[in-house]
């Protein structure tokens, strides 16, 4: 018997055993963004429930929306505090930097090395 296909929230799926949030970038922004799709892997495994996946996808969805808004608008006044935090968290995650690692008290000879 074939295993029934698991139902995931919108834009959430599995790729090589890893759960991901994937959404298409609007065509007029694809050249600016540099990619056709926005993909962010979630900290879940395939055995996660629909509700767990839905909750885990919320930050990824917020980050996607903030990223698209940043491609449309360059004024920092156009963003809410939550959107700026989502963009900052995305940059830190992509550069593999922990929150607080760049705090002023951590900058010094040890940081320069």
> Per-block average pLDDT, block size 10, for the chain (113 residues)?
73 90 93 92 89 92 89 82 82 78 64 59
Which pLDDT score, from 0 to 100, does residue 112 have? 61
Q: Are 42 and 31 contacting, i.e. CB atoms less than 8 angstroms apart?
A: no
Q: Angle, to 10 degrees, between the axis of helix 81-94 and the axis of helix 50-72?
A: 100
Which pLDDT score, from 0 to 100, does residue 81 have? 87
Which pLDDT score, from 0 to 100, does residue 39 have? 93
Calpha distance 14→47 (Å, rounded): 11
Calpha distance 43→37 (Å, rounded): 19
Total-model pTM? 0.74
Which pLDDT score, from 0 to 100, does residue 88 have? 81
Quote the strand ranges of the chain, DSSP E. Answer: 12-15, 18-24, 37-41
**Domain range summary for the chain, segments of one domain joined by +:** 12-112
Which pLDDT score, from 0 to 100, does residue 25 have? 93
Q: Are 48 and 6 contacting, i.e. CB atoms less than 8 angstroms apart?
A: no
């Amino acid at each position: 018997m074939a295993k029934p296909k698991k139902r995931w929230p919108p834009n959430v799926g599995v790729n090589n055993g890893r759960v991901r949030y994937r959404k298409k970038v609007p065509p007029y922004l694809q050249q600016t963004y540099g990619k056709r799709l926005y993909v962010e892997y979630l900290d879940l495994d395939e055995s996660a429930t629909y509700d767990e996946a839905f909750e885990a996808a919320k930050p990824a969805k917020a980050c996607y929306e903030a990223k698209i808004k940043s491609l449309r608008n360059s004024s920092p006044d156009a963003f809410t505090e939550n959107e700026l935090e989502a963009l900052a968290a995305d940059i830190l995650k992509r550069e593999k930097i922990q929150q607080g690692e760049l705090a002023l008290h951590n900058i010094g000879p040890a940081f320069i090395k």
